[in-house]
Amino acid sequence: MQNFVFHNPTKIIFGKKTIPSIGPETLLWGNKCLLLYGGGSIKKNDVYGQVTSSLKETGLEIIEHGGVQSNPLLSHVKQGIDKVKAHNIDVVVAVGGGSVLDSGKAICAGAVVNHDVWKFFTGKKSIKRALPMTAVLTLAASGSEMNSGMVVTHDETRGKFGFGNKLLFPKVSILDPEATYTVPADYTAYGAVDAMAHVLEYYMTTEDPATPVQDRFMEGLIINAMDSCDRCLANPHDYNARADLMWTATLALNGLTGAGLGRVGFPMHMIEHSLSALYDVPHGAGLSVIIPGWLRWHSMQDANKIIQLGSRIFNFELRGIEPAAHTTIKILENWFTRINTPIRLAEFDVPPGDIPVIAGNALRLAKIWRLNQYSQQTIEEILALCL
Amino acid sequence: MQNFVFHNPTKIIFGKKTIPSIGPETLLWGNKCLLLYGGGSIKKNDVYGQVTSSLKETGLEIIEHGGVQSNPLLSHVKQGIDKVKAHNIDVVVAVGGGSVLDSGKAICAGAVVNHDVWKFFTGKKSIKRALPMTAVLTLAASGSEMNSGMVVTHDETRGKFGFGNKLLFPKVSILDPEATYTVPADYTAYGAVDAMAHVLEYYMTTEDPATPVQDRFMEGLIINAMDSCDRCLANPHDYNARADLMWTATLALNGLTGAGLGRVGFPMHMIEHSLSALYDVPHGAGLSVIIPGWLRWHSMQDANKIIQLGSRIFNFELRGIEPAAHTTIKILENWFTRINTPIRLAEFDVPPGDIPVIAGNALRLAKIWRLNQYSQQTIEEILALCL
């Protein structure tokens, strides 16, 4: 096990009828809040009503900033920063999925500096302080509710970049599984794939020495991402299925899976970010295309962890190294197909001729994330396995 | 899944050569510290030297309070409280295993009130504030390094009581697996049993609905408690084995295993506390006697979770309910025997005639912990299964 520091100060309030605690929890951090949300789905399922009632009853002044898109845009973040500065806002209340929470963190970081917030994403500036953020989660997927990271897309360059800082953990995140009842089947599945991808990025890290404690934890999360997603799709109002998926997605990226693994790269995310930045495909959909291709490529370098995963969680008989890795990848692919997420680039109408452009865009992120083993040619090879 | 709040603010610094960070980390909380430790083993393995050097180099003033015993005594806690008050101490630095850390928390709670600290343990007073505590862990066992609970024994009444409060999470805990190289084989094994017992208490909780995310996490911890202990005993200087056991024990009782399970009782601990309070047996040794007996008793009420555990982690073929539960318990018992921990009361020279007295002592704790289904007779029945 490698040395590590684990310090996750986010308070999680999980369960039925917990949303009304957003007011009192936010009041601990200020009197005037920026209420950040997305395209308005929270107005259809009454989450908006519950949140605003609680904030108002607690005496908080609300400035609204709706309209966060999936694959959230830097321009919208900057508008939020301008509002915070213009209104002297104390605290950001992010209500939505990962895109909203990620935008909220970027606003918290950018609202206390005079330079372009994008400089944090390109590593040209580092964070010294930030506004506090509280959150109500409405989508089981990104894990942003209990970590300090975020991903935002630059409107012009289409660079989809991410970074994290310990000052950006949400102070509190409220997770009511009932708020996800109305998430449609496709986005429920994308969320489960996203959670699985987060676990796989860590799991496939092959730095010595072995980390058996973390491995078992991650294998359990992968089993539960698949199983709870299946149950959510079978019955969208199954509370326990929604709760299991929600908590799985949170645990998948709150720092615990990676604690002790050393430096972990996010190669599948690196390639997918390029895909969703260029074609605006949902992040989880992009991942379900990239995962099998990347695993196929990785199995040619080192198949051990893929075989360990399959043999432990899928209970199949091993028949030699290559078939075992192949079987594991095939089972994952079959699951993607069952939950109706894409597994080939062609499903996005991306022509094979675009591969060099996708790889070129991904390469920019590979350099920032110091994934030095990924050249233009390597990324093209991986993308070719996704055709 | 039941509603829950999860908020664990302890910072974990884990790995080789991390002990010298105790000075700077403690300085964040004050200038004058109470250095709390046990019987002096930290002087033999140089942990004491590393800690005091770091504290002094950082400019901290040190008041020492050594001599914490295993099954720590209230009288020693009270002496610590007196020292803190007499010297206007800002922060407690606990260096040792669970007994030292638990004593430290009790001192932090008692140092800021004028009444008897025992009133917190009997529920007659509740905590409003507490001194901060930092810690260096030297034993993988109790999990006290990342939770807010503690257990202390009353010198006269021999009541071994526990309680917890969110103000008592250590601010930081430093976990250097190398500091456990010199833990002898018996206490290494007792620590692994303690960690396993913590997981089992939660795992065996049978409140509906099911908690599959937590179940998989706990099964992984049980596998790793057993496996890493075996490796530590085979080679006490195996860094990865010590690291895996240490991190397993921390995760076994940091709140994550229980999040979403609803109200969880600690019946095995309830009975063991009586055993170690009356006969001063090591906590982990007492647990390895109580676990098989309690599981046998529990399997007569509800064998489902025992069978789930065995079938998932021990890979045996199920042959009907009773044999499957029996096989699981037998495998655990065989492991206790292999790591040389006791499995029968007779191994402590406790005569069968003492059972009513042990049960009577345990019953006091059953009432405080509201384990209402445990009568004197029930506890006697369980103890009879430990003969």
pLDDT for res B277: 85
In this structure, the number of other CB atoms found within 10 A of the CB of residue A318 comes to: 12
pLDDT for res B315: 75
The CA distance from A24 to A59, in Å, is 9
Residues B81 and B99: beta-carbon distance below 8 Å? no
Quick one: tokens of B382?
């369980």
What is the chain A residue with the closest CA to B211? A244
pLDDT for res A230: 98
What is the chain A residue with the closest CA to B7? A11
Residues A167 and A129: beta-carbon distance below 8 Å? yes
**Dihedral angle of Cα A126, A128, A131, A134, to the nearest 10 degrees:** 70
Query: In sequence order, which ranges of B209-320 are alpha helices (DSSP H)?
Result: 212-234, 239-251, 267-279, 283-301, 304-313
- pLDDT band, residue B324 (cuts 50/70/90): confident
Percent of chain B with pLDDT over 90: 86
| Closest Cβ–Cβ partner in A5, A6, A217 for B217 | A217
| Closest Cβ–Cβ partner in B7, B13, B16 for A11 | B7
Contact B1 A247 (CB under 8 A): yes
Nearest CA to CA, how far is B5 from chain A (Å)? Answer: 5
pLDDT higher for B230 or B39?
A: B230
Dump pLDDT digits (tens) for B162-172: 889 999 999 99
Residues B107 and B150: beta-carbon distance below 8 Å? no
- Is residue A95 packed enough to be buried (19+ CB in 10 Å), middle (13-18) or exposed (0-12)? buried
Nearest CA to CA, how far is B76 from chain A (Å)? Answer: 31
Strands of A32-36's sheet in order across:
A61-65, A32-36, A91-96, A133-137, A172-175, A11-14, B4-6
What is the chain B residue with the closest CA to A241? B1
Q: What sign does the dihedral A347-A349-A355-A360 (CA atoms) show?
A: negative
The bridge status of strand A11-14 relative to strand B4-6 is antiparallel
Q: Among residues 94-113 of chain B, which lie with CB inside 8 Å of chain A?
A: none
b/e per residue, B114-152, with b = 16+ CB within 10 A? eeebbebbeeeeebeebbbbbbbbbbbbbbbbbbbbbbb
pLDDT for res A280: 84
Query: From residue A13, how far is each of A93, A140, A285, B219 by CA, in Å?
Result: 15, 15, 29, 25
What is the chain A residue with the closest CA to B255? A12
Can you tell me the mean pLDDT for B174-189? 97
pLDDT for res A161: 84
- Is residue A253 packed enough to be buried (19+ CB in 10 Å), middle (13-18) or exposed (0-12)? buried
Contact A213 B3 (CB under 8 A): no
pLDDT for res A321: 67
pLDDT for res A318: 61
pLDDT for res A333: 96
Q: Is A313 on the interface with B (CB under 8 A)?
A: no
Residues A295 and A307: beta-carbon distance below 8 Å? no
Question: For residue A16, which residues of chain B lie inside 8 Å, CB to CB?
Answer: 3
Contact A216 B221 (CB under 8 A): yes
Lowest mean pLDDT among A336-350, B217-231, B236-250, B317-331: B317-331
Low-confidence ranges of chain A (pLDDT < 50): none
| Closest Cβ–Cβ partner in A8, A12, A212 for B244 | A212
- Is residue A129 packed enough to be buried (19+ CB in 10 Å), middle (13-18) or exposed (0-12)? exposed
Q: Is A220 on the interface with B (CB under 8 A)?
A: yes
User: Cis before residue A184, ω within 30 degrees of 0?
Assistant: no
User: Cis before residue B209, ω within 30 degrees of 0?
Assistant: yes
Question: In degrees, to the nearest 5, what angle opens at C-alpha A336 toward C-alphas A199 and A363?
Answer: 60
pLDDT for res B202: 96
Contact B5 A16 (CB under 8 A): no
**What is the 3-class SS of B184-228, one letter each residue?**
CHHHHHHHHHHHHHHHHHHHCCCCCCCCHHHHHHHHHHHHHHHHH
- pLDDT band, residue B159 (cuts 50/70/90): confident
Helix (H) or strand (E) holding B25: helix B22-27
Q: Among residues 224-243 of chain A, which lie with CB inside 8 Å of chain B?
A: 224, 227-228, 240, 243
Q: Is A216 on the interface with B (CB under 8 A)?
A: yes
Q: In residues, how long is chain A?
A: 387
pLDDT for res B145: 98
* pLDDT surpasses 90 at B354: yes
The CA distance from A145 to B216, in Å, is 22
Q: Is A3 on the interface with B (CB under 8 A)?
A: yes
The CA distance from B297 to A82, in Å, is 65
Phi, psi of A97 (to 5 degrees): -95, -160
pLDDT for res B205: 85
Nearest CA to CA, how far is A295 from chain B (Å)? Answer: 24
Phi, psi of A15 (to 5 degrees): 135, -175
Nearest CA to CA, how far is B248 from chain A (Å)? Answer: 7
- pLDDT band, residue B323 (cuts 50/70/90): confident
Crossing angle between the packed helical segments B267-279 and B283-301, to the nearest 10 degrees:
140
pLDDT for res B317: 64
Residues A20 and B263: beta-carbon distance below 8 Å? no
Dump pLDDT digits (tens) for A79-97: 999 999 999 999 999 999 9
